[in-house]
Amino acid sequence: MTIALGDIKTSLRAQLGRGTSQDASLFSYVRRALMEIERTRKFNHMYTLFEVQNDPNVDLPRALKIPNRRVRSIDFMRITKQDGELLASAQVLRQIFDTPRMPPPQDDTIPTAFQLIRSNLLILNNTPAYTYTFEGGWWEYSEPVNDDSWEHWLFDNFEDGVLDYSLAQAAKATRDFERANALLASGKNKLDSLVMAAEDQDLDAAEIVMRQDFYDDLPVPVYLRQ
Q: pLDDT (tens digit, 0 to 9) for every residue of the chain, 226 residues total?
A: 699 999 999 999 999 987 777 889 999 999 999 999 999 999 999 999 999 999 999 999 999 988 888 999 999 999 999 999 999 999 999 999 987 777 788 899 999 999 999 899 999 999 999 999 999 999 999 999 999 999 999 999 999 999 999 999 999 999 999 999 999 999 999 999 888 866 655 544 444 343 333 333 333 333 333 3
pLDDT of residue 28: 96
Looking at residue 202, its amino acid is D
Give the DSSP H/E element, type plus range, for residue 195: helix 177-210
**For residues 63-76, b (16+ Cβ closer than 10 Å) or e, as one string?**
ebebeeeebbebee
Q: How far apart are CA 115 and CA 77, in angstroms?
A: 11
Looking at residue 66, what is its pLDDT?
86
Q: How many CA atoms lie within 13 A of 117 on its CB side?
A: 13
- Residue 224 is predicted with a pLDDT of 35
Q: CA dist 98 to 4, 63, 103, 114, 117, Å?
A: 40, 17, 11, 11, 11
Dihedral sign, Cα of residue 81, residue 87, residue 92, residue 95: negative
Q: Where are the domains of the chain?
A: 5-43+145-210, 45-140
CB 23 within 8 A of CB 13: yes
What pLDDT shows up at residue 200? 52
